[in-house]
Structure 1
């Protein structure tokens, strides 16, 4: 138990430097969309469907390959269409989301990997990306599920021993493998140690307010105390950030590495 508490402290230090994206909406495990998104207007002729050199498409291909743990050649750009989205949510806003009511030029990008299609809506330079459709998550034996909320949006996560599914609340979820064996060991240890619990937890730092609504389905017998619940929630937030970027492990949040040899006797860096 002391090891878990010490581990929790390390998570809190690491996570203090991270930025979060989220808002406020209850969890929807199936990632379904109850209402259709606002219609989009396709602008013909701006981009040929066979043009795969659009930077937004190339960037998203790279991101998906990293998320799925695949070589870049295993992800194909199937189609790119120029689109003028009807709002700032790229036509994929949820029923409770406030979207800027302004036409937004961008693209509908279709990628293929592992025999499945992944469709994305982006703005023109690819700095804004939303998942429109992907294979159904279908995680087995979900250990942890919840939402992460701040002023920017609401995000859903589901975690099993080997996979995570994530996405904006009430929209399609993207299922990807947990690529870091250390993260797989973490969730296995949590599941085997702690009994089930539900909690709403405040995360983040003094300048970054985030809440997490967490449902933990552990098989252990130890009751998780508030500090341990927060540790698990912060760990889930880290896993979510890593899954979004496709970069797992300590290098994701590395800001500075320091090493020195020699120097004043008696001092060691």
Structure 2
């Protein structure tokens, strides 16, 4: 009985199981018909999407009103701050414009004064005498000019203020004494280097007898200092060469620039008149 069942299973396994006995002319009725697309769920989903988008727009409208309120509050705070600045400081824009205009007018007046009546012989003499003092100091104490260019600039400004009567004579001498004390006792420099700013400005703007006295005194100080260095055996073996990268002191540069501007303006005016006549 088991053998017969095995035979039947073999028959079905060979492909005989599951074969339909329906005639061929009715086989087309058993084909699966395609389902028609259902459209009504899309309308339902569209309705939900419309409602959700309406809620989003409503929330965005609330956020918009909140942002506008915050911006208005910040603008009010800025207006209040600006009002406080105007009340306690004044109009900063107007003050800045006035400062700029004052600076421009001052520069124009200064430039016009240089072009009209720059004392060329006096400026030339100032450059020569100050350069001689600087050369004496540099020969006695190398790097005495480059090591204190800031103090030399300050001394030049002090001398200009004294010439223009911006400061009194006692204050002028006090400031020069302060420069010497700062260089000698704070920076711990030698006497020649410390006295160089005061000597240069006194030689440049002093009376003729003051110039002679200062130059002779400074030369004697430089010779004495150099002799002491030689006696102590502290002479440097290497000769200090001129440093081409060192800058000219600002006062001397300003005097030279004033001479150049005056000469250039006079030359330009002369050439302009010559071209007009030609």
TM-score class, shorter: under 0.3
Based on CA coordinates, which of the two structures has the bigger radius of gyration?
A: 2
Higher helix proportion: 2
Tell me the TM-score normalized by structure 2: 0.19
